[in-house]
């Protein structure tokens, strides 16, 4: 490829000390290397002294290797690793608000039912559906509902867990 760098999405899993400023220090490592963070999800771990962070970021493989080395040198980072392509359980949650006059409501509800959504809110001319699943499922539902007039979308980003007895 003659020095070309293939930009793609990477899934990075971190286990960090639950201290103030950790998110900022982690984000700065990505920013300094020109990586765009597409989503970042953090939550307290089983041990409340620590947190799990899942980051989806766009960039090239060689730069990601450097980012991981830098992340693993940060005091608050217990471990950081690229889990792109690994067999993990991943989910995303989204709330999608759709314009929905009464004459289209049955169609929209049929689509929501096919995607195993929950109706989070319903009013005269709009409804909000809640969908959980892989990112591809959320994207597909968003595309289908777009023709009815998506008003707003809020997404959590990816949460993930290692399969089996392996610790995330």
pLDDT reading at 29 higher than 90: yes
Q: Whose CA is closest to 57, among 71, 44, 78?
A: 71
Residues 107, 99 contacting (CB under 8 angstroms) = no
SS3 at position 123: coil
Which CATH superfamily groups domain 7-82?
Answer: ACT domain (3.30.70.260)
User: What are 40-53's pLDDT values in tens digits?
Assistant: 999 999 999 999 99
SS3 at position 12: strand
Residue spans per domain, the chain: 7-82, 88-161
Q: Are strands 77-82 and 126-133 parallel, antiparallel or unpaired?
A: unpaired
Residues 78, 132 contacting (CB under 8 angstroms) = no
Residues 99, 148 contacting (CB under 8 angstroms) = yes
For residue 98, what pLDDT is reported? 97
CA distances to 8, 20, 87, 109, 150 from 126, rounded to whole Å, are: 36, 40, 38, 11, 9
Q: Do domains 7-82 and 88-161 have the same CATH topology?
A: yes
For residue 4, what pLDDT is reported? 55
pLDDT reading at 7 higher than 60: yes
According to DSSP, residue 30 is labeled: H
Q: What is the pTM of this model?
A: 0.81
For residue 32, what pLDDT is reported? 93
User: What are 107-160's pLDDT values in tens digits?
Assistant: 999 999 999 999 999 999 999 999 999 999 999 999 999 999 999 999 998 998
Q: Which residues of 98-130 are buried (b: 16+ CB within 10 A; e: fewer)?
A: bebeeebbeebbebbeebebeeeeeeeebbbbe
Q: Whose CA is closest to 15, among 58, 37, 45?
A: 45
The H-or-E segment that residue 70 falls in is helix 61-73
Q: Which option is the CATH number for 88-161: 3.40.1350.10, 3.20.20.80, 2.40.110.10, 3.30.70.1150?
A: 3.30.70.1150
């Amino acid at each position: 490829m003659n020095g070309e760098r293939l930009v793609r999405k990477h899934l990075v899993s971190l286990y960090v000390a639950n201290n103030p400023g950790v998110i900022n220090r982690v984000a700065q490592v990505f920013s300094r290397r020109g990586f765009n963070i597409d989503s970042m999800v953090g939550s307290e771990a089983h041990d409340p002294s620590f947190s799990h962070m899942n980051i989806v970021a766009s960039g090239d493989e060689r730069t990601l290797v450097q980012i991981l080395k830098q992340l693993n040198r940060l005091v608050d980072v217990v471990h950081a690793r690229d889990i792109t392509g690994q067999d993990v359980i991943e989910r995303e949650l989204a709330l999608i608000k759709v314009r929905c006059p009464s004459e289209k409501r049955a169609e929209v509800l049929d689509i929501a039912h096919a995607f195993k959504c929950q109706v989070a809110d319903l009013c005269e001319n709009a409804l909000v559906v809640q969908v959980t699943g892989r990112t591809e499922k959320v994207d597909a539902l968003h595309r289908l509902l777009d023709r009815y007039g998506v008003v707003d979308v809020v997404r959590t980003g990816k949460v993930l867990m290692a399969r089996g007895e392996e610790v995330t």
